[in-house]
Amino acid sequence: MTELKNDTYLRALLRQPVDYTPVWMMRQAGRYLPEYREVRKGAGDFMSVCRDADLACEVTIQPLRRFPLDAAILFSDILTIPDAMGLGLYFETGEGPKFERPITCKADIDKIGIPDPEGELQYVMNAVRTIKKTLNGDVPLIGFSGSPWTLATYMIEGGSSKAFTKIKKMMFAEPQTLHLLLDKLADSVILYLNAQIAAGAQSVMVFDTWGGVLSPRDYKEFSLQYMAKIVDGLTRHNDGRKVPVTLFTKNAGMWLEDIAATGCDAVGLDWTIDIENAKARIGDKVALQGNMDPSMLYAPLPRIEQEVSKILSGFGEGGTGHVFNLGHGIHPDVNPDHAGHFIESVHRLSKPYHL
């Protein structure tokens, strides 16, 4: 077993006693850090950083040099799987990710294969191995993937979308065609995350960024059932310890019970639900991750501290089973000093809840 100097994050996910509430931030390695911007500028573009194990390791470690975070998260992108399927991922300045060859019909789906994690996606596994070695047991390493539904939205829309008309047209007009794609993506995510675990990831997370654009019935059919399939297919023990699984759907407050019933270890919360309500509903079944509004980091430092205190209080006494995080990714123009104060406040203010 790899010895960890700080396993607070893993213990909290498993609802075991901890001395304080652990904290990390979605997109903690990113554009708000000047040192990250320097690396990206030198590499030329985002995917060049992802594909270079040493650069991916460097930017993964950067926030840990600044802040006493309780976990590192692999520096990568949720669209690595569709890229490996041959759809031609590229990034346009100010417009986000795009695909040269989006999915338009069943014939397109039949053409794509399930990527080999140690083939087309070996650069991700090389990054995991490099980061794990460099961390040297300081904190756990989180691996991740996009959810099948979220990946499918980009693959069918050809990039980001506001109305999701193309994928919803397929969903309602040709549901079995969409299910073929989602099933293929679920199989791909299972292989991909299990390979990350084998390479050294000690926890994994599935990001369902766009599940919240679905109706309750469609969410269960087209998003949640495929995340449940992933949970069932994952390696749950490795290197002598349990590998916790976190599911995160943005705008999922109405579905918390259904998400918790998948067998995951933790449910990620965005900022649109009160954590006290979430704990009352599912806190005896799973750990909770979240859930401060990322925009709160623009506030004066005393206001940030006040919000941290409110969320800790909402989770309540005992405190076990809570991983503090933002409700989504940190914004690129946030002052790093504000992020540092946020992290320090979580550690300091949470200790009384764990006595």
Question: Is 212 annotated as contributing to ligand binding?
Answer: no
236 is catalytic: no
281 in active site: no
Of 40, 66, 236, 281, the active-site residue reads 40
Residue 289 pairs with which residues in a beta bridge?
A: 268, 323
Whether 154 is a known active-site residue: answer yes
Q: Which tokens sit at 347?
A: 């550690």
| CB burial of residue 298 (10 Å; 0-12, 13-18, 19+) | middle
**Is 31 considered catalytic here?**
yes
Task: State the catalytic residue, choosing from 9, 27, 36, 219.
Answer: 27
Neighbours of 215 (CB within 10 A): 9
Q: Give the residue from 353, 350, 348, 304 showing the smallest Cα distance to 326.
A: 304
* Cα 263 to Cα 225: distance, rounded to the nearest angstrom: 12
Long-range contacts of 195-198 (CB under 8 A, 24+ apart): 195/117, 195/118, 195/121, 195/125, 196/74, 196/117, 196/124, 196/125, 196/128, 196/143, 196/144, 197/143, 197/234, 197/235, 197/238, 197/243, 198/235, 198/238
Q: What is the 3-state secondary structure (H, E, C) of 67-112?
A: CCCCCEECCCCCCHHHHHCCCCEEEECCCEEEECCCCCCHHHHHHC
Placement of tokens 């990714």 in the chain? 329
Residue 348, annotated as binding a ligand: no
| Annotation says 52 is catalytic | no
Cis status, amide bond into 291, omega within 30 of 0: yes
354 is in an annotated binding site: no
Is 320 labelled a binding residue? no
For residue 77, say whether it is annotated as part of any ligand binding site. Answer: yes
Please tell me which residue in 9, 32, 36, 154 is annotated as part of the active site: 154
List 292's β-bridge partners, or say none: 326
**158: annotated binding-site residue?**
no
Residue 98: count of CB within 10 angstroms of its CB = 18
Q: How far apart are CA 272 and CA 294, in angstroms?
A: 12
30 is in an annotated binding site: yes
Helices vs. strands in the chain: H and E counts, helices first: 16, 11
Residue 65 annotated in ligand binding: no
* Active site residues per annotation: 27, 31, 40, 77, 154
Instruction: Output the known binding site.
Output: 27-31, 77, 154, 209, 328
Instruction: Output the known binding site for substrate.
Output: 27-31, 77, 154, 209, 328
